[in-house]
C-alpha cells in the first residue's frame, strides 16, 4: 500500500484524479494515468528538476549576429521501424535514429540567414522507443526473446542494457537486467519480483541503457 501511495503522489503531478460514480463512496476517486510510454518518460524525466533526458541537443550558427538558442532535451531515441520489423531487434544499433552531428541545417531563429551545426550529446542513460507497430490500431508490436536485445550499444560512448519494458494492452511490465546477466521481472500486478530466463518471449516497447563511463 505504501508503494501505491508513492506512485499516486508521483503520477498525480501529470495525471488527474477523477470521481468515479461506480466506485464505493469511501473511495470515490481514481487516477487516470493511461498513456504512451514515451509521453510518461518525457513527463517524468524532462519536465522537472533534476532532469534526466536521454541526450542534450545544441546548435551553433555560422551567423555571428545570431542570438544563440538554448539547448533542448531529447527525452528518448526513436528507431527505424522498417529495419527492426525486417531484421529483428538484434540490429538495434543500426536502427536507432542517432547522429552526433548534423551539418548545414537552416537556422531556426527568426530572420536569421545562417546555417547551424547541430550536436547531440547522449546523457548518462538513454531510453529507446521500441514501438514498431505500423498502424496505431495494432495492439501488439514485434515479439522477441530478452536474449535478442543487444547488451551493449555505442553512441559516442558505450552503453549497457539495464532494462526492457513490455507492453500488453492496458499494462506495462519491466524486465531488469543485472550486470551478471540475470533477468528480473517487475510486474505490479504481482506481489513479488520474479527471476526469469533470457529466452522469455516479450513484446518490447522500450529499452533502457546506461553509460559504462561518465
State phi, psi for 155 to the nearest 5 degrees: -135, 85
- pLDDT per residue, tens digit, the chain (214 aa), is 566 666 667 676 667 677 666 656 555 566 666 667 788 788 777 777 768 899 999 999 999 999 888 899 999 999 999 999 999 999 999 999 999 999 999 998 989 999 999 999 999 999 999 988 876 666 667 899 999 999 999 999 999 999 999 988 778 899 999 999 999 999 877 878 999 999 999 999 999 999 997 6
Q: What is the pLDDT of residues 19-45, one digit of tens each?
A: 666 656 555 566 666 667 788 788 777
pLDDT at 173: 92
Task: Find the length of the chain.
Answer: 214
* The 3-state secondary structure of the chain, one letter per residue: CHHHHHHHHHHCCCCCEEECCCCCCCCCEEECCCCCHHHHHHHHHHCCCCCCCCEEEEEEECCCCCCCCCCEEECCECECHHHHHHHCHHHHHHHECCCCEEEEEECCCCCCCCEEEEEEEECCEEEEECCCCCCCCCCCCCCEEHHHCCCEEEECEEEEEEEEEEEECCEEEEEEECCCCCEEEECCCCCCCEEECCCCEECEEEEEEEECCC
Q: Of the candidates 182, 82, 89, which has an alpha carbon nearest to the alpha carbon of residue 144?
A: 89
pLDDT score of 57: 93
Amino acid at each position: 500500500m505504501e508503494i501505491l501511495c508513492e506512485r499516486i503522489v508521483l503520477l498525480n503531478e501529470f495525471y488527474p484524479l477523477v470521481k468515479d460514480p461506480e466506485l464505493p463512496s469511501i473511495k470515490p476517486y481514481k487516477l487516470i494515468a493511461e498513456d504512451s510510454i514515451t509521453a510518461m518518460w518525457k513527463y517524468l524525466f524532462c519536465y522537472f528538476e533534476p532532469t534526466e533526458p536521454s541526450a542534450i541537443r545544441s546548435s551553433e550558427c555560422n551567423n555571428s549576429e545570431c542570438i544563440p538558442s538554448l539547448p533542448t532535451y531529447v527525452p528518448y531515441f526513436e528507431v527505424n521501424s522498417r529495419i527492426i520489423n525486417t531484421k529483428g531487434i538484434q540490429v538495434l544499433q543500426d536502427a536507432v535514429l542517432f547522429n552526433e552531428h548534423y551539418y548545414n541545417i537552416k537556422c531556426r531563429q527568426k530572420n536569421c540567414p545562417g546555417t547551424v551545426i547541430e550536436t547531440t550529446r547522449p546523457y548518462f542513460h538513454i531510453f529507446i522507443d521500441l514501438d514498431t507497430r505500423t498502424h496505431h490500431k495494432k495492439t501488439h508490436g514485434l515479439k522477441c526473446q530478452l536474449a535478442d536485445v543487444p547488451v551493449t550499444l555505442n553512441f559516442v560512448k558505450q552503453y549497457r542494457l539495464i532494462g526492457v519494458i513490455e507492453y500488453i494492452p492496458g499494462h506495462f511490465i519491466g524486465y531488469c537486467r543485472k550486470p551478471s546477466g540475470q533477468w528480473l521481472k517487475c510486474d505490479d500486478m504481482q506481489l513479488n519480483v520474479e527471476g526469469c530466463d533470457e529466452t522469455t518471449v516479450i513484446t518490447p516497447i522500450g529499452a533502457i541503457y546506461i553509460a559504462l563511463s561518465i
